[in-house]
Amino acid sequence: MRIDLFLKQSRLIKRRTVAKGAATKDLIIVNDKIVKPSYQVKVNDLITLNLGSKQIIVKVTSLIPKKDELMYDLISESFIGQKN
């Protein structure tokens, strides 16, 4: 499954065009590599999303969308530039 389609189906990003744009702008990193919209996602991939001032890291657990089940495990969610 393509990364842009996975992000849309998993509801990490609401629209596929937005997911495709994020990948085109090098805002999506999979396993420490910048990927393009056509990257084929695999189970156990670590996806880092840099969206605005927010960084989200998830681990892919499924490529098949199921009702009431997430397709990923949330590893971390943080705001870039946040002071502790």
- pLDDT tens for 49-76 read 998 899 999 999 999 998 889 999 999 9
In contact, 70 and 10? CB cutoff 8 Å: yes
Question: CA 64, CA 48: separation in Å to the nearest integer?
Answer: 20
DSSP, collapsed to helix, strand or coil, labels residue 49 as strand
Question: CA 29, CA 22: separation in Å to the nearest integer?
Answer: 10
CATH, domain range 3-79: 3.10.290.10
Q: Where residue 83 falls among pLDDT bands split at 50, 70, 90? A: low
Is the pLDDT reported for residue 41 higher than 80? Answer: yes
Note if the pTM is more than 0.85: yes
Is the pLDDT reported for residue 84 higher than 90? Answer: no
- The DSSP call for residue 25 is T
What are the sequence ranges of the domains in the chain?
A: 3-79
In contact, 78 and 54? CB cutoff 8 Å: yes
Q: Where residue 3 falls among pLDDT bands split at 50, 70, 90? A: very high
